[in-house]
A = this chain, B = another copy of it.
Amino acid sequence: MNLIDISWPISENITEYKNKKSIKIIQTSKYKKDGVREKLITFNSHTGTHIDAPSHFTENGKTLDQLTLNKFYGLCKIFDLTNVKEKITSKNLENLDIQKNDIVILKTTNSNLQEEGDFVSDYVYLEKSGAKYLADKKIKTFGFDYLGIESNQPNHETHKYLLENEIPIIEGLRLKNVKQGKYILSCFPIYINNADGAPARAILIEK
């Protein structure tokens, strides 16, 4: 069994969506002084590798704790779309083997962007026709390799096509060293009550 980490490491220096600067990490206990190490950690619910719940962008959508756990574990398909520039439309998806209940992860050139420093606003994004295509296919969960998936499309339609169909969105995956193929994904968000989003550790399991 081989475990592959596809998570975005959290530190005070990491890139945040639109440079929010939400993260603070304070060493509250130090070994030499206290004989123990502890930190106090602050972040936005949509930091690093994290999952968007339907409630993030829909009025009556479910929170993460209301979704079935199998949204976050199981067979996933990673598709290499590093040839795509600017945006992913339905045309870029229609020849791929995407089936009902798949966890679909798209690898783009975003995986080459740095993990620290300023937010890159012209990342490759999922255009609304691509999101509609995935929602119509009734996939289980969608994963992507930047801190947003939408770019600046009006009215957040890309998010809404997915979230209104109870397809949670894993943002902030790191796929530079991962090949297209089938894997088992484990990507459970930490358990925060009523979460509109929460960090998750994303791991691929190869058997």
Chain A interface residues (CB < 8 Å from chain B):
1, 3, 5, 7-11, 22, 24-25, 28, 31, 35-46, 48-49, 55-57, 59, 65, 69-70, 73-74, 156, 186, 188-197, 199-201, 203, 205
Contacts and interface: CB of A to CB of B under 8 A. Distances in A.
B43 A41 contact: yes
27 contacts: A1-B70, A1-B74, A3-B70, A5-B69, A5-B191, A7-B190, A9-B65, A9-B192, A22-B40, A24-B42, A31-B59, A35-B156, A36-B56, A37-B57, A38-B56, A39-B44, A39-B196, A39-B197, A40-B43, A40-B45, A41-B43, A41-B192, A73-B186, A73-B203, A73-B205, A188-B201, A190-B201
B191 A48 contact: yes
A115 to B, nearest CB: 10
Nearest to A59: B31
Contacts of A41: 42-45, 192
Given A37-B55, A73-B3, A200 B190 contact: yes
Contacts of A59: 31
Give the number of times this chain occurs in the complex, counting copies: 2
B192 A10 contact: yes
A203 B72 CA distance: 11
Contacts of A74: 1
A76 to B, nearest CB: 14
Given A11-B193, A38-B44, A73-B186, 7 more contacts: A9-B191, A9-B193, A35-B156, A37-B55, A39-B192, A40-B43, A191-B201
